[in-house]
């Protein structure tokens, strides 16, 4: 059975709000609430891949403690980084 875009958006929003650390829940959850409905199917796939990374890596990348490795930088990661800057 194939996951519909609507079901995928719901799953990604849930995963965004339930990361395991409150700080990342807030960053990822608000990003998902504000952005996922406007993403294309390909962008949803990219975001799904972003969510597979461990919390410490994501948090360090998003907060600029460490640079995002080039192979993980994509248009959705760029949107996520802009979202974090807008939150400050």
Has residue 88 got a pLDDT over 70? no
DSSP state of 10: H
Domain ranges of the chain: 5-87
Query: With respect to CATH, is domain 5-87 assigned 1.20.1070.10?
Result: no
Q: Is the pLDDT confidence value at 1 over 70?
A: no
Q: Cα 30 vs. chain centroid, distance in angstroms?
A: 10
Instruction: Tell me the pLDDT of the chain averaged across its residues.
Output: 93
pLDDT: which is higher, 80 or 87: 80
Contact 77, 29 (CB under 8 A): no
Q: Quick one: the chain helix, strand, coil %, rounded to 5? A: 75, 0, 25
């Amino acid at each position: 059975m194939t996951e519909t875009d609507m079901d995928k958006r719901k799953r990604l929003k849930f995963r965004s709000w339930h990361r395991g650390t409150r700080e990342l829940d807030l960053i990822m959850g608000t990003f998902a609430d504000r952005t996922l409905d406007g993403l294309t199917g390909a962008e949803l796939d990219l975001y799904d891949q972003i969510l597979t990374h461990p919390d410490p890596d994501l948090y360090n990348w998003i907060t600029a403690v460490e640079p995002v490795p080039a192979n993980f930088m994509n248009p959705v990661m760029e949107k996520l980084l802009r979202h974090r800057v807008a939150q400050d």
